[in-house]
Amino acid sequence: MDAERALVKSPPRPDVVIDDPPRMNLLGLILGDIMQRGLERPENQRRFAGLVPASVVVRAGEMAVTLRFEEQRLVVQRGAAERPRAQVAGALDELMALSLGGGMVGPWLAGRLKTRGSLLLLLRLRPLLQV
Amino acid sequence: MDDKTLRELFEPLVGVEAVIGPEQAAAFNEYASDYTEEEPRRPGLVLQPTTTEQVQAVVRAAREAGVSLTPRVSGSNVGGLAIPPTGGVVLDLRRMNRIIDVQVDDMYALIEPGVTWEQLKAHLEQADIPLRMGYPLSPPDTSIVANCLLDGLGNLSMRYGAMADWIGGLEVVLPDGQIARTGAPALSDRWFGRSPLPDLTGMFVSMQGRTGVVTKMAFQLWPAPAHRRRTFILMYDRNGAFQAMRGLARYQICDDVGGLSWTTGKMLFGVERPAERDPGEPEFFLYLDLSGASARELDLRLEILDDYLDGLRAQGFKAEKPLDIETLVRLNPRFGKLADFPTRLEFLVDHPGGGLSWVGTYGPMSRFEAFGDAGFAIMERYGMPPTLVSRPMKGAHFGVMRFITTFDKSSAEERRLVREMSAEIIDAGLELGFIPYKTPPWVVRRIRERLDPGFVELMRRVLGAVSPERTLSPHCWPLDD
């Protein structure tokens, strides 16, 4: 019964698709892998459904990737898309701290993390970026 | 000599269970090739002796019968050294794998040639011995003795030099079957070093088995500081990484400073053949090992590292903050492959194409930039990901530049391209004073015209005196054919 309920309540796990892996940068590969693992958790699958459709640009150091939240899949693309709904940028170690469970507000207030666009979207995205 | 005659000759010397013949096809065929583009050569027979006496008997019999013997252990050499001449006998030493003794106070382990990195590590850990060793990037099940005799390197080579420097003495079966000891054990009961007698150990280093079969070796171990840290620094410019390697080596705050080009990070994430670098992404990853007898000492070293990196940034080089390996592993378990040595890097040795080849050289660190430029340009021209592993050696008196290629072994065209590309990289390195190590026979043929004529003559005399019949590894060091 519990299993049936879980099936009803949890949408199918979205696929994580790395666009053109041989040309993807390290940031995209790291984020793709983190989100792949994150999306194994049912609660994140529900969160994912709430993010579709959207595109978010993540910048670390001099690397940039765009995360496209589409129906049943997340596409990771190299570079920054034009007019994303949200952007987050910071040093690689700041973003990694975020993925390891660090807070977003403190680094943001200190100027170590910079955001643009929908802050609400970024806050909803945060659990998916955490390991 | 046909297979049957070979078996009749050698089986009584080692026992039937220690012979692998063509009828055991799967096991037997593994001895015909290695990871590289080198063409396979079918052996005549494979022997797996377990004692020095058996090795002596085999060597004597082979000499009398005029049969070649090629020593090997795991067969992971990346240059065709362990592939025997066609029809020759392979002397597989993997069953001679005893750790005979560990002298904790004198810091060495006396081992047989089949002892592997993972085996000795487990032994030290289980016995709670506070000593450590340096590890190469080769798989955990490869031979310590082979890497030392081929003068390879490990993650303590920046501090302590190439691995032949770590030999404390040898027991060798000479090509006529006689046993000799070199180094300290020629006179002492302790195998403490190659000094101070005439250094005859050198006659068996980088000789690729031509001069004898080593049956025992003292392997020097090093103190294991209580506090250790492995950290990675992403550099956006490879020349900045080379400068950091030289600088940090002279600061003497690290046990190891190594560098990996951008392709390795992607290969770790399963990208088999990275196609191009995003202009915004780091070009080189420095990995650093630091240690201290106390937490305070380690902290001070880390503080000096931060100061050094600030100085590097002030010169215009872009470097991220150091990232601890523990953090990276928490972020992604794939990084665990770099957390603890020895390690098996599947992206090099277990990928679908199966091919792995390299140009490994030792040379002057002052010319890393020039060789890096040349090597990368050649690899890119051939459409190969520019994979480079480099490291200062022996306090930066020299360094290693190792250009690595993975490829599809089943493709004759790829094999041809890899060989052609490697030859170009070798030539570029020779022009800059870089010398290939673990030198494959085809590379010897390429470099022999450049070698000092006196050196070549001396090599001929040494090889002629020690092994006039050329019984052992006759395909190696081809100076005359």
> Which residue segments constitute the domains of chain B, with CATH numbers given?
3-92 (3.30.43.10), 99-223 (3.30.465.10), 227-436 (3.40.462.10)
pLDDT digits over B150-207, tens only? 999 999 999 999 999 999 999 999 999 999 999 999 999 999 999 999 999 999 999 9
Model confidence at B283, pLDDT cuts 50, 70, 90, reads very high
Q: Which residues contact A111 (CB under 8 A, 6 or more apart)?
A: none
Tokens representing B313 are: 């940034």
Number of domains, chain A: 1
**pLDDT band at residue A6 using 50, 70 and 90 as cut-offs:** very low
Residues in chain B: 481
ipTM score above 0.90: no
Highest mean pLDDT among A105-119, B202-216, B343-357: B202-216
CB contact under 8 A, A99 and B331: yes
Which residue among A26, A64, A131 places its CB closest to the CB of B330?
A131
CA distances from A116 to A76, A86, A126, B280 (A): 19, 6, 15, 20
A123 contacts chain B (CB < 8 A)? no
> In this complex, which of B278, B323, B327 lies closest to A25 when CB atoms are compared?
B278
Q: Do A25 and B281 touch (CB under 8 A)?
A: yes
CATH of the domain at A33: 3.30.1050.10
Cβ–Cβ below 8 Å for B234 and A34: no
Q: Give the closest of B273, B276, B281 to A26, CB-based.
A: B281
* Residues sharing a CB contact under 8 Å with residue B441, sequence separation 6 or more, in sequence order: B79, B80, B81, B475, B476, B477, B478
Give the end-to-end CA distance of chain A in Å, rounded to a whole number: 30
Q: How confident is the model at residue A10 (pLDDT cuts 50, 70, 90)?
A: low
Q: ∠ CA(B303), CA(B331), CA(B136), 5° rounding?
A: 70
Residue B350 has pLDDT above 90, yes or no: no
Which chain B residues touch A131 with a CB distance below 8 Å? 330-332
List the alpha helices (DSSP H) in A10-109: 26-38, 42-51, 92-99, 105-109
Confidence bin at A104 (pLDDT 50/70/90): confident
Strand order in the sheet with B179-182: B99-103, B108-111, B213-220, B167-173, B179-182
On whether any CB of chain B is under 8 Å from the CB of A27, the answer is yes
Find the domain containing A19 and state its range.
2-129
Confirm whether pTM is higher than 0.90. Answer: yes
Average pLDDT rounded to a whole number, residues B50-75: 97
Q: Are A131 and B273 in contact (CB < 8 Å)?
A: no
- Yes or no: say if B340 and B326 are a contact pair by the CB < 8 Å rule: no
| pLDDT above 70 (res A8) | no
- The verdict on a CB contact (< 8 Å) between A62 and B318 is yes
The conformational region for residue B443 under phi > 0 = left, psi -120 to 50 = alpha, else beta, is alpha
Range ranked top by mean pLDDT from A92-101, B103-112, B136-145: B103-112
Question: What backbone torsions phi and psi does residue B88 show, to the nearest 5 degrees?
Answer: -80, 170
Q: How far apart are CA A67 and CA A129, in angstroms?
A: 11
| CA atoms of B59 and B263, how far apart (whole Å) | 45
